[in-house]
Amino acid sequence: MDAFYASVELLRYPQLKGLPAVIGGSRRREDEALRHVPAGGTLADIPVEAFPLLKDYVGRGVITTATYPARQFGIGSAMGLMKAAKLCPQAIVLPVDFDEYRRFSRMFKKIITDAAPVMEDRGVDEVYIDFTEVPDGQLEGGRVLARRIQRAIFETTGLTCSIGVAPNKLLAKMASEFDKPNGVSIVYESDLQERIWPLPCRKVNGIGPKADEKLQRLGIRTIGELAARDRAWLIENFGKSTGAWMHEMAWGRDDRPVVTESEPVSMSRETTFDRDLHAVRNRAELGEIFTRLCEKVAEDLQRKGYVGKTIGIKLRYDDFKIATRDQTIEQFTADAKTIRQTAGRCLKRVPLDRPLRLLGVRVGALVKAGSAEARMAPASRGARAEAAGAMTASLF
DNA sequence: TCTGGGGTCCTAGGACCC
DNA sequence: TCTGGGGTCCTAGGACCC
Instruction: Write down the pLDDT at residue A396.
Output: 41
What's the CATH number where A141 sits?
A: 3.30.70.270
Same domain, A29 and A113: no
- The per-residue b/e assignment along A71-100, b for 16 or more CB within 10 angstroms, e otherwise, is bebebeeebebeebbebbeebbbbbbbeee
Quick one: average pLDDT of A181-190? 97
Residue A26 lies in a domain: yes
- Closest nucleotide to the alpha carbon of A321, via C1': C13
Same domain, A25 and A119: no
More confident residue, A70 or A388: A70
Residue A319 lies in a domain: yes
**Domain final residue, candidates A96, A114, A146:** A96
Same domain, A355 and A277: yes
In this structure, of A59-68, A105-114, A215-224, A285-294, the range with the lowest mean pLDDT score is A59-68
Same domain, A279 and A371: yes
Residue A104 lies in a domain: yes
The integer distance in angstroms from the CA atom of A67 to the C1' atom of B5 is: 20
Residue A60 lies in a domain: yes
Same domain, A220 and A142: no
pLDDT (tens digit per residue) in A230-251: 999 999 999 989 999 999 999 9
What's the CATH number where A276 sits?
A: 3.30.1490.100
pLDDT (tens digit per residue) in A146-179: 999 999 999 999 999 999 999 999 999 999 999 9
Residue A384 lies in a domain: no
- Whether residue A380 is predicted with pLDDT greater than 70 in this model: the reply is no
Same domain, A273 and A349: yes
**Domain final residue, candidates A77, A96, A115:** A96
Query: Which residue places its CA closest to the C1' of nucleotide C11?
Result: A326
Residue A385 lies in a domain: no
Range of the domain at A227: 197-250
Instruction: Write down the pLDDT at residue A180.
Output: 93
Residue A389 lies in a domain: no
The integer distance in angstroms from the CA atom of A174 to the C1' atom of B1 is: 32
Quote the number of domains for chain A.
4
Same domain, A270 and A349: yes
Same domain, A116 and A148: yes
The integer distance in angstroms from the CA atom of A128 to the C1' atom of B2 is: 35
Same domain, A282 and A369: yes
Instruction: Write down the pLDDT at residue A395.
Output: 47
What's the CATH number where A245 sits?
A: 1.10.150.20
Full 3-state SS string of A55-119? HHCCCCCECCEECHHHHCCCCCCCCEHHHHHHHCCCCEEEECCHHHHHHHHHHHHHHHHHHCCCE
The integer distance in angstroms from the CA atom of A292 to the C1' atom of C8 is: 35
Catalytic residue, chosen from A30, A100, A120, A126, is A126
Judge whether A155 counts as a catalytic residue.
no
- Whether residue A33 is predicted with pLDDT greater than 80 in this model: the reply is no
Same domain, A129 and A84: no
Instruction: Write down the pLDDT at residue A58.
Output: 81
Question: End-to-end CA distance of chain A, in Å?
Answer: 54
Same domain, A275 and A209: no
Give the residue numbers of the binding site of A: 125
List residues with CB under 7 Å of strand B: A 59-62, 64, 77-78, 80-83, 86, 123, 239-242, 262, 264-272, 300, 319-320, 357-358, 360, 364, 381-382, 385-386, 388-389, 392-393
The integer distance in angstroms from the CA atom of A394 to the C1' atom of B5 is: 48
Under a CB-based contact definition with an 8 Å cutoff, are residues A260 and A118 in contact?
A: yes
pLDDT class for A37, splitting at 50, 70, 90? confident
Same domain, A89 and A105: no
Does the nearest atom of strand C lie within 7 Å of A310's Cβ? yes
The chain-wide mean pLDDT, for chain A, equals 93
Under a CB-based contact definition with an 8 Å cutoff, are residues A81 and A24 in contact?
A: yes
Give the residue numbers of the binding site of A for Mg(2+): 125
Tell me which residue of A107, A105, A82 sits closest to A93, measured CA to CA.
A82
In this structure, of A40-49, A139-148, A265-274, the range with the lowest mean pLDDT score is A40-49
| Window 135-154 of chain A: CB closer than 7 A to strand C | none
**Domain final residue, candidates A223, A250, A277:** A250
